[in-house]
């Protein structure tokens, strides 16, 4: 995945991502930071959470790190969509990501 990001990240302005179970990856939700932070042409991010998958504070933490990396490099998103991510206990994690 990281090779894909490095090779095509500068050419993809819109990305739709389906969140996967963090226990299936050695890096947990770290991949979110890499996707958001390293795709230099990214303007629209659509995040979808399948039923039965948990996102929680750790997911928002890595998402926020990716957004901070974008900001440090003078980039920002024009739009962000959250599908099934906003809900139980997400308000405390969501605000830092969108402010």
CA 53-13-69 angle, to 5 degrees, is 70
Q: Return the DSSP state at 10.
A: G
Residue written as token pair 């302005």? 13
What distance in Å separates the CA atoms of residue 50 and residue 21, rounded to the nearest whole number? 9
pTM reported for the whole predicted model: 0.79
Look at residues 57, 81, 77 and name the one whose alpha carbon lies nearest to residue 66.
Answer: 77
Which pLDDT tens digits describe the chain residue by residue (99 residues)?
Answer: 668 777 888 899 999 988 887 766 667 788 888 888 889 999 999 999 888 887 878 888 888 899 999 999 999 999 999 888 776 556 667 767 766
| Domain regions of the chain by residue span | 2-98
Q: Beta-carbon neighbour count of residue 83 at 10 Å? A: 13
């Amino acid at each position: 995945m990281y090779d894909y990001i490095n090779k095509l990240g500068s050419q993809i302005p819109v990305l739709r991502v389906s969140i996967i179970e963090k226990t299936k990856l050695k890096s947990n939700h770290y991949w979110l930071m890499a996707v958001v932070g390293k795709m230099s042409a990214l303007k629209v991010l659509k995040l979808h959470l399948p039923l039965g998958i948990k996102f929680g504070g750790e997911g928002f933490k890595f998402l926020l790190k990716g957004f901070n990396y974008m900001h440090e490099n003078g980039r920002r998103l024009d739009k962000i969509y959250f599908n099934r991510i906003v809900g139980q206990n997400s308000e405390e994690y969501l605000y830092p990501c969108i402010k």
